[in-house]
């Protein structure tokens, strides 16, 4: 993240190998929010940085509000899979992906802590 104002959240950088160049869209114009659907934030972070997973996101936001940047916003993260939105294909190329640590529906779907919500909003 660049151009921080004093109140902006800062991100730890942990580079995922799972990214590539944006296709046809030099700048993203949408944000895609996902929950991780994994039992722990550490497990989700490891998976998003594992070459075998072939998935990544630009950012991961842990329950305590800690932000990890894994892919530069100028690059294409692999978070949306084969996707489309209102006729646009390849959502990975035109979006910034933010993974929010939460085990999801299959593991009880707990609420999102206030610190995590605030971090996502600030991001």
Domain count, the chain: 1
Containing structural domain, residue 101: 26-122
In this structure, is residue 88 part of a structural domain?
A: yes
Rounded Cα gap, residues 69 and 58, in angstroms: 6
- Residue 19 placed within a domain: no
For residue 18, being part of any structural domain is answered with no
Position 71 in a domain: yes
Model confidence band, residue 9 (pLDDT cutoffs 50, 70, 90) = low
Tens digit of each residue's pLDDT (9 = 90 or more) over 11-59: 899 999 999 999 987 789 999 999 999 999 999 999 999 999 999 999 9
CATH of the domain at 71: 3.40.80.10
Domain presence at residue 21: no
Dist CA 4 CA 17 (whole Å): 25
- Sequence-ordered list of residues with C-beta below 8 angstroms from that of 26, at least 6 positions apart, any chain: none
- Encode pLDDT of 101-119 as tens digits: 999 999 999 999 999 999 9
Structural domain includes residue 32 = yes
The answer as to whether 15 is a domain residue is no
The answer to whether residue 87 sits within a structural domain is yes
As a whole number of angstroms, the distance between CA 105 and CA 59 comes to: 21
């Amino acid at each position: 993240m660049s151009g921080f104002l004093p109140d902006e959240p800062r991100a730890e950088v942990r580079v995922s190998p799972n990214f590539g160049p944006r296709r046809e869209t030099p700048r993203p114009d949408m944000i895609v929010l996902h929950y991780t659907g994994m039992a722990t934030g550490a497990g989700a972070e490891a998976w998003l940085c594992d070459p075998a997973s072939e998935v990544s996101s630009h950012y991961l936001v842990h329950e305590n509000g800690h932000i990890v940047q894994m892919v530069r916003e100028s690059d294409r993260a692999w978070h949306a899979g084969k996707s489309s939105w209102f006729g646009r294909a390849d959502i990975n190329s035109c979006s910034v992906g933010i993974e929010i640590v939460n085990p999801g529906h299959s593991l009880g779907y707990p609420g999102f802590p206030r610190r995590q919500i605030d971090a996502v909003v600030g991001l």
